[in-house]
Amino acid sequence: MSTSDSPTKFILRAMVANEYKYLVSIFLFDSTNRIISPIEKSRDQYKYQLKKGLYTLRVEMNAGITDKVITVNTNKAYWITSDLSQAPLSDIIQPPQQFSSALLSGARTETYLSSHEYYTHPAIKLSKRNTFIYNQVQTKKLNSSLFIFLRFPSIDKYNSLRSKWAKSFYKYFEIVNEYGELLLSFDSKSGLQVNENDGWLAFNAQLPHGIYYLIYRGSEPRQIPIYVFNNWHTQFFMTLGEVPLFGTTRIFMSAKREFNPKAEANKYIDILLDKLQNGDYSVDEELIEIAAYGKYRSPMLGLICSYVYFKSRQTKSDDLFRIITQNMQRVILKDNDESPDLRALSILAAEHFDKTNYRKTAIKGTPMLRIGLEAIKNASLKNRALIPKNSINDFISETLYYDSPFNTFKPIPVYKRPKSSLASEKNMNEIAFDIHSESRFLIDMNEGGVEKEPKELEPKIDKFSLNINGYLEPNLISFIKSSETNSEAERNWVRTSISGLLSKNENLSINDISNQLNLSGNTITRIFDDWGKKIKIEKKKKGR
């Protein structure tokens, strides 16, 4: 039956259950597949005025689709829900099931297809207690912890993959402190709870607040910053496949040392992270209200919602977000003012609000969220001290991955040290670091933002404004432009872009390149230094 030409109109309502209203999109098609626009639309209701006929009501969620063909010959209402008791079965359209690394739980167990009980139960249990003792004396005084839970989409998926591996799934991971010193190598299995039958592992330790890194050293290696906030418990979830699925990463903060799969704040964080990954910076008033009142239960919700709001360029809720950001920095996350995410948030707030400043000194460490790193990079175009040359954010600027809303990058090279200098075999389950540890990362940890002028230049000359052909040696410029440079094994988009720009125009300055590539001038000069060192090494080889 096609759509009728009858003048009689009927009302069709699609009612969206509360837990789905930020997740689903509703579309209505007529018999010719033409999209029909609603006469009224809100998060929880779509209202259509229709002629008699045949229509298709489509529910989209996370790339999944559910279609229901309906006949309109009277006023009708349908419920978009997984709760089959909410309406007659014929009037219910169940959305596609959700997937989340975080083992979230909806109104019904069917809501999150990936939250299997054989993963959820151990995650809840192990989120409450240590698997690893950082320091027996300090642990008693600490009220902050890091919980990591890695698992597969299902036992079936795990079993289909495990026969292909030379090593068990957990053996390529390690956790290091801010200096790159080893906290725990997962290869030892000590300090972990591992279930090799079901395919999951858990790490939990009370730790001093500060930045830590989870590093994967298998194929496609990655490094992920995780910040432990004073008086908060950080919870990290990620799904594994043939390689870790870094785009599935979820990080929460909880006042209680316990993972709650039904926590509403975590569900909204899941939604906002999908928005960030999709470049969707729209936030409606209801979601803003939820973040405003939920920030005390989950600072991560307030942090991510603030990031999204400032990127959206909205102004309607400026007064509220001024309060939210101040409370985040001065009340909720006080004593954590060196957090890179809070530094990044202050930069975005200063750009958004009039007469607001931010600290111009170097950022120590790197944000957990990629949007935070992008904010620091953008600000460094005008304030180079934010990203000193050879600092961690300088290194990340050309090794960043974009498949996750979180900040993931190629692992920072480290100095090789004897294993005994890190921890004895007998004591791998209990480690205490000297607070003045020497950096194991091959980067400059003295990130004071002080720039030194090259000896060959007059102190008053601004090297960043000089034309490249007046700043670099001719042989270095030729090397940068050469096809050999463009095809080198370690190339990346940054180096390829610099080479391409100089091939077209040598009259560019470092500032010109910096602005075109949206990178700190210090990163550009460090790359030039790298290329200069490579030329010297090649000369020595030829001279032998």
Report residue 538's pLDDT band, with 50, 70 and 90 as the boundaries: confident
Same domain, 300 and 375: yes
Report residue 312's pLDDT band, with 50, 70 and 90 as the boundaries: confident
Query: What's the pLDDT score for residue 46?
Result: 97
Same domain, 200 and 163: yes
Of 93, 110, 137, the residue at which a domain comes to its end is: 93
Query: What's the pLDDT score for residue 37?
Result: 95
Same domain, 16 and 130: no
Query: Is residue 218 included in any domain, yes or no?
Result: yes
Asked if 199 and 168 touch (Cβ cutoff 8 Å), the reply is: no
Average pLDDT, rounded, for the chain? 85
- pLDDT of residue 339 exceeding 80, the answer is yes
Q: Classify residue 118 as exposed, middle or buried by CB count within 10 Å of its CB (0-12, 13-18, 19+).
A: middle
Q: Which domain holds residue 508?
A: 468-543
Instruction: Determine the average pLDDT of the residues in 163-170.
Output: 86
Query: What's the pLDDT score for residue 329?
Result: 82
Same domain, 285 and 363: yes
Report residue 283's pLDDT band, with 50, 70 and 90 as the boundaries: confident
Residues 66-96 have pLDDT tens digits of: 999 999 999 999 999 988 887 888 899 988 8
Query: Is residue 295 included in any domain, yes or no?
Result: yes
Asked if 142 and 127 touch (Cβ cutoff 8 Å), the reply is: no
Query: What's the pLDDT score for residue 236?
Result: 98
Q: Classify residue 198 as exposed, middle or buried by CB count within 10 Å of its CB (0-12, 13-18, 19+).
A: middle
Contacts 24+ apart (CB under 8 A), 380-385: 380/519, 380/520, 380/521, 380/522, 381/514, 381/515, 381/518, 381/519, 381/520, 381/521, 384/449, 384/451, 384/464, 384/520, 384/521, 384/522, 385/360, 385/361, 385/449, 385/450, 385/451
Residues 393-409 have pLDDT tens digits of: 999 999 999 999 999 99
Residues 140-149 have pLDDT tens digits of: 788 999 999 9
Closest CA to 22 of 262, 251, 268: 268
Same domain, 152 and 240: yes
Of 78, 93, 108, the residue at which a domain comes to its end is: 93
**CA–CA distance, 98 with 30 (Å, rounded to integer):** 27
Give the pTM: 0.85
- Pick 62 or 407 by higher pLDDT: 407
Query: Is residue 268 included in any domain, yes or no?
Result: no
Contacts 24+ apart (CB under 8 A), 34-37: none
Same domain, 362 and 472: no
- pLDDT of residue 426 exceeding 70, the answer is no
Same domain, 44 and 160: no
- Pick 447 or 101 by higher pLDDT: 101
Instruction: Determine the average pLDDT of the residues in 37-55.
Output: 94
DSSP 335-355: T-TT-HHHHHHHHHHHHHSTT
- pLDDT of residue 452 exceeding 50, the answer is no
Instruction: Determine the average pLDDT of the residues in 385-400.
Output: 94
Query: What's the pLDDT score for residue 390?
Result: 92
Same domain, 327 and 386: yes
Same domain, 436 and 536: no
Query: What's the pLDDT score for residue 491?
Result: 65
Query: What's the pLDDT score for residue 436?
Result: 37
Query: Is residue 162 included in any domain, yes or no?
Result: yes
- pLDDT of residue 433 exceeding 70, the answer is no
Question: Which range has the worst mean pLDDT, 337-346, 409-418, 525-534?
Answer: 409-418
Query: Is residue 456 included in any domain, yes or no?
Result: no
Same domain, 112 and 253: yes
Structural domains of the chain, count: 4
**CA–CA distance, 127 with 132 (Å, rounded to integer):** 12
Instruction: Determine the average pLDDT of the residues in 470-474.
Output: 87
**Which DSSP letter does residue 20 get?**
G
Q: Classify residue 344 as exposed, middle or buried by CB count within 10 Å of its CB (0-12, 13-18, 19+).
A: buried
Percent of the residues in the chain that have a pLDDT greater than 70, as a whole number: 86
Question: Which range has the worst mean pLDDT, 58-62, 442-446, 480-484, 525-529?
Answer: 442-446
Of 62, 93, 124, the residue at which a domain comes to its end is: 93
- pLDDT of residue 31 exceeding 90, the answer is yes
Report residue 38's pLDDT band, with 50, 70 and 90 as the boundaries: very high
- Pick 540 or 503 by higher pLDDT: 503
Query: Is residue 148 included in any domain, yes or no?
Result: yes
Query: Is residue 3 included in any domain, yes or no?
Result: no
Same domain, 404 and 533: no
Instruction: Determine the average pLDDT of the residues in 412-417.
Output: 75
- pLDDT of residue 108 exceeding 60, the answer is no
Query: What's the pLDDT score for residue 267?
Result: 85
Same domain, 117 and 83: no
- Pick 495 or 443 by higher pLDDT: 495
Instruction: Determine the average pLDDT of the residues in 507-518.
Output: 94
- Pick 424 or 501 by higher pLDDT: 501
Instruction: Determine the average pLDDT of the residues in 51-61.
Output: 93
Phi, psi of 280 (to 5 degrees): -100, 110
- pLDDT of residue 44 exceeding 60, the answer is yes
Query: What's the pLDDT score for residue 97?
Result: 77
Query: What's the pLDDT score for residue 327?
Result: 86
Report residue 313's pLDDT band, with 50, 70 and 90 as the boundaries: confident
